[in-house]
Amino acid sequence: MRIVVLAGGIGGARFLRGLKQAAPDADITVIGNTGDDIHLFGLKVCPDLDTVMYTLGGGIDEEQGWGRADETFHVKAELAAYGVGPEWFGLGDRDFATHIVRTQMLGAGYPLSAVTEALCARWKPGVRLLPMSDDRVETHVAVEVEGERKAVHFQEYWVRLRASVDAQAVVPVGAEQAQPAPGVLEAIGEADVVLFPPSNPVVSIGTILAVPGIREAIAEAGVPVVGLSPIVGNAPVRGMADKVLAAVGVEATAGAVARHYGSGLLDGWLVDTTDVDTVGEVEAAGIRCRAVPLMMTDVDATAAMAREALALAEEVRA
Amino acid sequence: MRIVVLAGGIGGARFLRGLKQAAPDADITVIGNTGDDIHLFGLKVCPDLDTVMYTLGGGIDEEQGWGRADETFHVKAELAAYGVGPEWFGLGDRDFATHIVRTQMLGAGYPLSAVTEALCARWKPGVRLLPMSDDRVETHVAVEVEGERKAVHFQEYWVRLRASVDAQAVVPVGAEQAQPAPGVLEAIGEADVVLFPPSNPVVSIGTILAVPGIREAIAEAGVPVVGLSPIVGNAPVRGMADKVLAAVGVEATAGAVARHYGSGLLDGWLVDTTDVDTVGEVEAAGIRCRAVPLMMTDVDATAAMAREALALAEEVRA
């Protein structure tokens, strides 16, 4: 079975770990969000790709969900001693090596997809990890701070501001001119099922879908497309997805997110058992819906979620 | 008193610490060798400038003489895990931060002299540290390995090969086209005395003198130029200076090094008491010479050497 998964960071990475357990023989291609990539200290940092790579490759800081296990922060402390920031972005020493290798390869002319493949040669994530695009896309968030409206990089909004101010708009700058990375459209075209993990529908999956050709390829693939709600009981399971959902005029409910994707894209939708009342509303929108436990408390629980998603896909197919 | 010092790495840095103690009120300008600079992992590394900066700024690994105190090597270990080398060059995590800041500033268009000044704003070395040139100069060493003659970067010869094969030639590539960095010729022109610490006469001081204009400015400054022999008892005090001296046809003796600099450049020369027999030979070559203890065993001993050098300069002046 060939599965294509659109993934953001922590939520996507943890779901993939469950999916690998649920479908050990599946051929999994992950299309990773690169809209939250950022240049720091002259280095190219790809937080979502790295979170997937580290999580599936056994290098992740399990508690934190991002960054490397057994990490130290001497480079960052020294940069701060030179007065060089930002200090709000937590790059560890081991993590720095990844960005140094990536930046050096990009500088030598390799596209991000080739760089990602080279990095994965070490981590062996057990999936094929593709960036959504080799072109630069950078998610900016329009905010109003002290009466002044300005656009900040998504990482600044998410990490520095902790989404403490309202997002007035979320714009994946460069997406319209971006092309899907080599292999992305081919993987979708050959997939037996496409899954949307419980990742952020706006800044993770939404950004991937904003790359021209990807949404269309998924809609026209003629295979089941099944998603899992990142909203449980009218709140994001983790992160601050409600803030960016508001910016695109979508309520932070499991049902509203399904309708935001729409029946033209989505065939099946899993909501948490807490949100069983939503099932009728989603089905009325033309999307098959089931209520199952959606808390990724451990790998077994996550694998059960993945099995439910695959079962719903089979139901859709039949 | 305005003192100009030409400095390589460890020997130059340690001498400078003694000089600062010997002449606490002096205005010291250090012209640092950049011929052993190297690009590693896409980063610009300036070993000699950093050794001077860390040593005088209190950040040096005292025992080793280079690199940072209290250092860790996680970035390097991770780079090796990616298969990215060279592994033979010891870059620590704290040290990496310096190279990241430098590379970012160079990329933003600042010349190396401005970058060095910015880095020194943190370290406060108590001297004005200038690179010999803002232009790229890279010392290469011609060697014969398994019958094949090839040129290797000085760091590869020194650090990887540990000077275990004969150096057939030492070439400061780019030196002929290089210009002295801003402030270098001015500092020499305003100096009351010019000192050559017990640094490598070929790959450290020799490289600085190879930048057109620097040797001439020193020779024509009309002030005492005094050097300290890096050779004691026919062997380098530290390092493998004999290997590169052979490449330029100079014996590894205190007297031969003085004659290599020549009376057109050098007015005074200090040799170790062990080499007292050499004094006559050096004076016969037109260079005033004294035999004094030249082992930099601690800062006090080094300060005594610096005082001897300044005393010899006064003798020359008188």
| Yes or no, beta carbons of B119 and A94 under 8 Å apart | no
CA distance A41 to chain B (A): 6
pLDDT for the residue B237: 82
Residue bearing tokens 């922590």: A10
Instruction: Report the residue of B40, B43, B50, B93 to disrupt the A interface, i.e. the one with the largest count of A CBs within 10 Å.
Output: B93
User: Is any Cβ of chain A less than 8 angstroms from the Cβ of B96?
Assistant: yes
Please report residues of B whose CB lies closer than 8 A to that of A39: none
pLDDT for the residue B266: 98
A118 three-class SS: helix
pLDDT for the residue B94: 98
> What are B289-298's pLDDT values in tens digits?
999 999 999 9
List residues forming the annotated binding site of B.
50
Inter-residue contact B303 to B19 (CB < 8 Å): yes
Please give the C-alpha separations between residue A310 and each of A23, A263, A267, A306, B100, in angstroms, as whole numbers. Answer: 9, 18, 12, 6, 46
pLDDT for the residue B189: 98
* The pairing of beta strand B27-32 with beta strand B2-7: parallel
Beta-carbon contacts of residue A172 (< 8 Å; ≥ 6 apart): A35, A137, A138, A139, A206, A207, A210
Beta-carbon contacts of residue A297 (< 8 Å; ≥ 6 apart): none
A147 three-class SS: coil
pLDDT for the residue B242: 86
**Single-letter amino acid, residue B221:** A
Q: For A93, which of B43, B75, B107 is closest by C-beta distance?
A: B75
DSSP letter for B109, please: T
Inter-residue contact B93 to B72 (CB < 8 Å): yes
**Single-letter amino acid, residue A64:** Q
Asked whether the predicted pLDDT for residue A111 surpasses 90, the reply is: yes
Q: What is the helix (H) or strand (E) element at residue B61, kind and residue range?
A: none
Asked whether the predicted pLDDT for residue A258 surpasses 90, the reply is: yes
User: Is any Cβ of chain A less than 8 angstroms from the Cβ of B290?
Assistant: no
Residue B139: pLDDT band by 50, 70, 90 thresholds? very high
For residues B297 and B66, give the distance between their C-alpha atoms in angstroms, rounded to a whole number: 16
Vertex A283 angle, CA A277 and A284, to 5°:
100
Q: For A74, which of B84, B93, B103 is closest by C-beta distance?
A: B93
| Yes or no, beta carbons of A75 and B82 under 8 Å apart | no
Whole-number mean pLDDT of chain A?
Answer: 96
Residue B236: pLDDT band by 50, 70, 90 thresholds? confident
| Yes or no, beta carbons of B42 and A83 under 8 Å apart | no
pLDDT for the residue A145: 85
B302 three-class SS: helix
Q: For A75, which of B41, B81, B93 is closest by C-beta distance?
A: B93
Q: For B72, which of A93, A103, A104 is closest by C-beta distance?
A: A93
For residues B239 and B158, give the distance between their C-alpha atoms in angstroms, rounded to a whole number: 9
Q: What is the helix (H) or strand (E) element at residue A99, kind and residue range?
A: helix A93-107
For residues B300 and B306, give the distance between their C-alpha atoms in angstroms, rounded to a whole number: 10
pLDDT for the residue A90: 87
Asked whether the predicted pLDDT for residue B279 surpasses 90, the reply is: yes
Whole-number mean pLDDT of chain B?
Answer: 96
Residue bearing tokens 């490759």: A57
For residues A128 and B261, give the distance between their C-alpha atoms in angstroms, rounded to a whole number: 62
Residue A76: pLDDT band by 50, 70, 90 thresholds? very high
CA distance B32 to chain A (A): 21
> What are B88-132's pLDDT values in tens digits?
998 999 999 999 999 999 999 999 999 999 999 999 999 999 999
Please give the C-alpha separations between residue A75 and each of A6, A72, A81, B12, B93, in angstroms, as whole numbers. Answer: 33, 8, 10, 27, 5
CA distance A96 to chain B (A): 7
Asked whether the predicted pLDDT for residue B238 surpasses 90, the reply is: no
For residues A225 and B316, give the distance between their C-alpha atoms in angstroms, rounded to a whole number: 88
pLDDT for the residue B78: 97
Residue bearing tokens 């590394």: B45
Inter-residue contact B212 to B174 (CB < 8 Å): no
Residues 31..90 of B with a Cβ closer than 8 Å to A: which? 41-43, 72, 74-79, 81-84
Domain A2-36+125-133+177-317: CATH superfamily is CofD-like domains (3.40.50.10680)
For residues B195 and A150, give the distance between their C-alpha atoms in angstroms, rounded to a whole number: 56
Please report residues of B whose CB lies closer than 8 A to that of A116: none
Percent composition of chain A: helix, strand, coil (DSSP 3-state, to 5): 40, 20, 40
- Nearest to B249, CA basis, from B152, B166, B313: B166
Higher pLDDT among residues A116 and A234, named by residue? A116
Instruction: Report the residue of A82, A91, A95 to disrupt the B interface, i.e. the one with the largest count of B CBs within 10 Å.
Output: A82
Among all residues of chain A, which has the CA nearest to that of B106? Answer: A42
Residue bearing tokens 């130059």: B12
For residues A256 and B147, give the distance between their C-alpha atoms in angstroms, rounded to a whole number: 74
Inter-residue contact A205 to A36 (CB < 8 Å): no
Q: For A97, which of B72, B75, B118 is closest by C-beta distance?
A: B75
Inter-residue contact B5 to B12 (CB < 8 Å): yes
Residue range A175-198: average pLDDT? 98
Distance of CA B113 to the CA centre of its chain: 16
Least confident of A27-31, A155-159, B74-78, B208-212: A155-159
For residues A39 and A51, give the distance between their C-alpha atoms in angstroms, rounded to a whole number: 17
Residue A186: pLDDT band by 50, 70, 90 thresholds? very high
Beta-carbon contacts of residue B70 (< 8 Å; ≥ 6 apart): B94
- Nearest to A118, CA basis, from B84, B236, B180: B84
User: And the tokens for B315?
Assistant: 């003798």
Residue range B275-293: average pLDDT? 97
For residues B216 and B194, give the distance between their C-alpha atoms in angstroms, rounded to a whole number: 13
Pick among 3.40.50.10680, 1.10.10.10, 3.30.2130.10, 3.40.50.1370: CATH of B2-133+177-317: 3.40.50.10680
pLDDT for the residue A92: 97
Helix B112-123 and helix B93-107, axial crossing angle in degrees, nearest 10: 140
B86 three-class SS: coil
